[in-house]
Chains A and B, each alone.
Chain A
Amino acid sequence: MTRFITSSFSHLILLIGILIMVVPVWMIFASSTHTSSMINMNGLQMFLGDSFYENYLRVLLYQGGFFKEITALKMFFNSFIMATGVAILSVVTSLMAAYALVYYRIKYATLLFWIIFITILVPLELRIFPTYSVMAELNLVNSYFGLIVPISASAIATLFFRQFYKTVPDELLESAKLDGANTWRFFVDFLIPLSKTMIVAMLIFMFVFGYNQYLWPLLVTTSEQYWTVVMGLKMMSGSIVHRFAFVMMSMVPPILIIIVLQKYFIKGVFQDK
């Protein structure tokens, strides 16, 4: 009996927590399906209206920005390119950096690693002006390259891969060597398949990180052609229902990527067992 009470109590707390998280999102979604005059008169709505298609279609295709050069669709495209680019590039660079740190005979490899690690303490905002001036010098302002590359060195991912490589037994490398594998083959045939799950996890993590960037894209793009979704949230003008619709849509890509890749993620985890 007491067990029933305590377990219902914890369930109650969890339910309240879920409600606190979900209700605001639901209200925005519900409100985004009404007309703006409805919202303006009656405030936020808890139930669905019937302007869903109208509102969302308009937001997707509306020529926004000061110069009316960009649609939400294009912003999604830009964000997708940027987030994918950041995810892939940062995972590839961290895989290779960790490989070099663990397997090459580098003097002071540990020191080097800690220097890389300390950069976690230095947020992008702190180095944003020097980074910008480098990009400007290289003429990379207003390009996907400029959006992606400066934020694609991830100390955290390097840390994860390094720690993982350190748990790979030395005999595996030695055995592979005797089987005629060179440095590159060991990386491709062993470390990458062995860290498959971790790679997927890092891809998700870095995708969301890239997608959520705000300040950097704001600085490095002056042309509206390169606006991203998160920038768009701020820049968006128009009526309240359209902004709500845009907010709702901006949540879709990260959720989608997690749902799609999590399947592989879990599969990987269970296969290795």
Chain B
Amino acid sequence: MSFLDLKNVTKIYPNGTKAVHETSLSVDEGEFMVFVGPSGCGKSTLLRMVAGLEDITEGDINLDGKLINEVDPSERDVAMVFQNYALYPHMNVYNNLAYGLKNRGIDKETIEQKVNDAAKLLQISDYLQRKPSMLSGGQRQRVAMGRAIVRNPKIFLFDEPLSNLDAKLRIQMRLEIKKLQQKVGVTSIFVTHDQVEAMTLADRLAVINNGIIEQLGTPIEIYDNPKSLFVAGFIGSPQMNFLDGNIKNKTLSAEGFEIKDIDSDFEGEVKLGIRPEHLSQSENSLINLKVDLVEQLGSDNLVYGQLKNKKDFCYRCPGNLTIEKGADLSLNIENNKYYIFDKSTGKRVN
């Protein structure tokens, strides 16, 4: 049994919403697990069941070898960082950090020691006497982290802790969280709907959709090898291009071109997925793209345009190529990196 073990966990809210379907998941000690998925897919619900803030309708959760279904949140020894931080507004930063320790009857000197250590680690030592209302967003974020760290819990739970920060700070905090987690080595679950955040933070990633884990794996596994249409569309930025197609006798006919000898025995209606970064310009081309718009990111250019049948399409090329608006590009798929999905079930077939 691993450190955290979810077995057939299901959540049905009192109003009948089935937020989480039979879900099983194992998280190893020290692992950084990320739940990613669109809004309303049940990420928070799953996390809150681990924390004990929501009852488990069915199934079992084991933490550190102990069944915790019925254990009160105050006894679970988990720490959670909320989206709005939920700092205690009437206590100064020191007491925010110390409160959880005080409740466990730890003596004053040890508390002071631990709070000061955590404050130093997070570089908030200068604000210990301030109330949360007198801190900036980033500082509050650090205090919220500090409150989790100082207790040295069995597991950290993060529910979209970075979504209230501006873009630059978000990237900075993302790095710091990752570093911090590696330093203290506490098992962590991080919820986000930002796929870049998910990819960069995770040891392993659970892509959730409609209360079901669609795919579980390392970020690279999931990027390279998406198992379903949903995962393929969700992971990767800009999004994967999808074209309608049809397979007959190992030949795929998509919108305006054909691919022969594909690696699949599937026959029938499919979706063909091609990542913008897996395309290159070449003579004997498959795809003809009429350019509408070029976004220059410096390192890369994102080229948006339309195929012959007016379908939107995106191509990512190195930033040193100059591409004019209105140009006609002939593109080829690099190294046969394309994905085929059964149109009716969304399952990967190649």
Give me the interface of A with B, judged by CB distance under 8 Å: 169, 171-172, 174-182, 185, 189-190, 193-194, 272
Contacts and interface: CB of A to CB of B under 8 A. Distances in A.
A179 B99 contact: yes
Nearest to B151: A179
Contact of B90 (A178, A180, A193): A193
Contact of B84 (A169, A179, A185): A169
B129 to A, nearest CB: 14
Interface string B95-117: 00001100110000000000000
B74 interface: yes
Contacts of B151: 179
A178 B80 CA distance: 7
Given A177-B52, A180-B104, A190-B90, 17 more contacts: A169-B86, A171-B84, A172-B86, A175-B82, A175-B88, A177-B53, A177-B72, A178-B73, A179-B99, A179-B100, A179-B103, A179-B147, A180-B75, A180-B103, A181-B74, A185-B103, A194-B89
Dominant secondary structure of chain A at its interface with chain B: helix
The listed residue with most B CB atoms (<10 A of its CB), out of A174, A175, A190, is A175
Contacts of A182: 74
B141 to A, nearest CB: 14
- Which 4 A-B pairs rank lowest in CB-CB distance, beginning with the nearest? A171-B86, A179-B100, A180-B103, A175-B86
A177 to B, nearest CB: 5
Interface residues of B, number: 23
A265 B190 CA distance: 42
Contacts of B51: 174, 178
A180 B86 contact: no
A103 B75 CA distance: 20
A220 B299 CA distance: 87
Interface of B: 51-53, 72-76, 78-80, 82, 84, 86, 88-90, 99-100, 103-104, 147, 151
A178 to B, nearest CB: 5
A189 to B, nearest CB: 7
Nearest to A195: B90
B88 A171 contact: no
27 contacts: A169-B84, A171-B86, A172-B86, A174-B53, A174-B82, A174-B86, A175-B82, A175-B147, A176-B88, A177-B52, A177-B53, A177-B72, A177-B73, A178-B74, A179-B74, A179-B99, A179-B100, A179-B147, A180-B100, A180-B103, A180-B104, A181-B103, A182-B74, A185-B103, A190-B88, A190-B90, A193-B90
